[in-house]
Amino acid sequence: MNNLKPKNRIKDTMYGMVSIVLFLLITGLTPSPSYSSGEGVSPEEATQFIRNAAHATDLAWEEFHAAAIEGTLASPLVQVTIEGQLHEVRRLLMEARKAERSQDYQSVKEITQQIQAITENIIEASRKRKP
């Protein structure tokens, strides 16, 4: 049957467990050549997402500013809401740039999608005129 003495079995089991743990640590911490921290989002795509979000932010600001200067915003509440959204968009844009520097490209994509949605709302609200 099993010719190993009890001490040898424990010793062999310990070496086996240590070997497995080391193997898992080494393979788990070493990225494969196809590894991407952005789950399929390339650095170039992340850069383009940020450019598009920055452009959308500029357009939203211009649309709001024109409506505010003309005095055609639907209400003072709309103006305050849009101003808050513009601050949020700028904060998110900085967060996206920080994520890009950290090579977290999936976060860049998600954050810039939020920016796009908010800027669309800003533009739409800015175009609504006083009743």
95 in the same domain as 54: yes
Range of the domain at 10: 1-30
Task: Please tell me the total number of residues recorded for the chain in this structure.
Answer: 131
51 in the same domain as 22: no
68 in the same domain as 11: no
Q: pLDDT value at position 90?
A: 96
**Burial class, 23, CB count within 10 angstroms (exposed 0-12 / middle 13-18 / buried 19+):** exposed
Q: pLDDT value at position 33?
A: 39
122 in the same domain as 92: yes
Local mean pLDDT, 10-residue blocks, the chain (131 residues): 54 53 48 47 95 97 95 92 96 97 96 97 92 75
Q: pLDDT value at position 102?
A: 96
The number of distinct structural domains making up the chain is 2
Q: pLDDT value at position 31?
A: 43
pLDDT in tens, 35-69: 444 458 999 999 999 999 999 999 999 999 999 99
Provide φ and ψ at 43, rounded to 5°: -60, -35
Q: pLDDT value at position 57?
A: 97
Give the predicted TM-score (pTM) of the model.
Answer: 0.69
Residue 37 within any structural domain of the chain: no
Residue 35 within any structural domain of the chain: no
The 3-state secondary structure of the chain reads CCCCCHHHHHHHHHHHHHHHHHHHHHHHHCCCCCCCCCCCCCHHHHHHHHHHHHHHHHHHHHHHHHHHHHCCECCHHHHHHHHHHHHHHHHHHHHHHHHHHCCCHHHHHHHHHHHHHHHHHHHHHHHCECC
